[in-house]
Homo-oligomer: A and B are copies of this chain.
Amino acid sequence: MSVAQESLSTAIDELTNIFADRITTNVSVRDTHSRDESWHHPHKPDAVIFPHTTEEVSKIVTVCARYKTPIIAYGTGTSLEGNVIPHHGGIVVDLDRMNQVLRVNVEDLDCTVQARVTRKQLNEHIRDQGIFFPIDPGADASLGGMAATRASGTNAVRYGTMRENVLGLTVVLADGRIIKTSRRARKSAAGYDLTRLFVGSEGTLGIITEVTLKLYGIPEAMASAVCSFDDLKGAIDTVIQTIQMGIPIARIELLDDVQMDAVNKYSDLNYAVKDTLFLEFHGSENGVKEQAEFVQTIASDNTGGEFKWTTKPEERSKLWAARHDVTYATKSIRPGCEVWATDVCVPISNLANCILETKEDLKDSFLIAPLVGHVGDGNFHLGFVINREDPKELEEAERLNDRLVMRALAMDGTCTGEHGIGLGKMKFLTAEHGESVGVMREIKKSLDPLNIMNPGKIFSL
């Protein structure tokens, strides 16, 4: 047994003394924790442990630090860039049992949850009080995981991302110390913004165990709409003009014709197989009407067809369920295959060019790749439907993704709007951030000198 293996084995023994049957080396549990929802190849951890409290997480980290054992925090496993895959082995800290809503304050429109509370669970918990948490990445992800990935999704165009909606965090650092990054005031100029440092750090600087979030009053009125377009450029121009006019739209999602076909088949719907916008408006009765009429005019000036809008909750739910099932709809195009989701985001003035050049690129490829996007933010995804065991398909997806990322960077955009760097985007980090990556490395080294927190993610050291 190597020194490293011996240390790992001692760490597991020590943790077993403390956690008894809440730590396991069972193969099927390790297998469940070897993957996320991406195309990245799985890798099993050496053990999985289930803490109940922040203090227990601190104990785990303290033991692991002693033996330099890698620690990977795990929420729902819905990451899309291999962010939670323990590809160096080590111990997965599954926060499954830390799923309590700790505090809701309607007056202050905020709450504190344990990291494993999911967004749907939170919304279920607070709905009766007339409030909601808007950030919606599609998957019913854990709020700790969403903070760690700086997630966003369909509502970000109006409500911001996790960056704007996390008020504070409880974090276990790489040496076991427990910190709270902020108090509950809506703003503060007291010292470095540690909240934002940990939001998006993907578990590489510490483990988020509690999250304090902004909440919002459920709008007086909500309306959804669907509009299909004769050409893709018309749909995109509608988005650009809507944003530039400052219309406070709550959701504006683009699905191209390929995506609409998959959605129709998967969700048994009969939308036109055309480039389509799904929209949502929040506000007062009058405000929503005003917004919808405004956007309708913009759409009809841009080859938009009938603007079907509804305020009926069941119709709205049906529409957004179809939108949320896009990943599954895409997978169903080729059962048994994986989806490689791209994630660039560009300034909105470059959105049309970025999408149209990308579609040109796809024309010559043998891969199928529906397009869906949170286009109000300039963010869109291709879903390459691939058999990840076929090197030719992987290579082709990589080639197209490389070109897409470089195109977005040349347009002053980012390689990832919301999925994070994980394993999949590491090679682009320096192309995007240049010398700044050196600063990120220095921060990582100062806060995790042993490199035990989700090692090998974001950048190698």
Contact = CB atoms under 8 A, between A and B. Distances in A.
Interface of A: 105-110, 149-152, 156, 160-161, 163-164, 173, 177-194, 196-197, 199-201, 205, 216-217, 219, 240, 244-246, 284, 286-287, 290, 343, 345-349, 377-379, 408-409, 412-421, 425, 428-429, 432-440, 442-443, 445-447, 458-459
A419 B347 contact: no
A106 B343 CA distance: 25
A429 B345 contact: no
23 contacts: A107-B349, A164-B164, A181-B436, A183-B412, A184-B347, A185-B412, A186-B347, A186-B348, A188-B345, A189-B419, A190-B433, A191-B433, A192-B201, A192-B440, A193-B197, A193-B200, A197-B443, A217-B244, A284-B290, A439-B447, A442-B446, A443-B443, A443-B447
A151 B189 CA distance: 7
A348 B106 CA distance: 11
A38 to B, nearest CB: 14
A356 B384 CA distance: 60
Given A190-B421, A192-B440, 11 more contacts: A107-B244, A179-B439, A185-B412, A186-B348, A187-B379, A189-B421, A190-B433, A193-B196, A194-B436, A197-B443, A287-B290
A2 B335 CA distance: 77
Contacts of A438: 177, 179
A149 B346 contact: no
A437 B181 CA distance: 9
B413 A183 contact: yes
Contact of A414 (B105, B161, B188, B414): B188
Given A178-B435, A290-B286, A429-B191, A184 B413 contact: yes
Nearest to A162: B189
Contacts of A415: 190
Contacts of A458: 191-192
A418 to B, nearest CB: 5
Contacts of A150: 187-189, 193
Contacts of A187: 150, 152, 156, 161, 163, 345, 377, 379, 414, 417-418
Given A286-B286, A286-B290, A432-B183, A108 B191 contact: no
A185 B346 contact: yes
B105 A349 contact: yes
A188 B419 CA distance: 9
A379 B189 CA distance: 11
Nearest to A408: B185
Nearest to A216: B246
Closest 7 CB pairs of A and B: A196-B196, A446-B446, A188-B414, A107-B349, A217-B246, A185-B345, A184-B412
B196 A416 contact: no
B286 A185 contact: no
Contact of A240 (B107, B177, B419): B107
B186 A378 contact: yes
Contacts of A160: 164
A197 B197 contact: yes
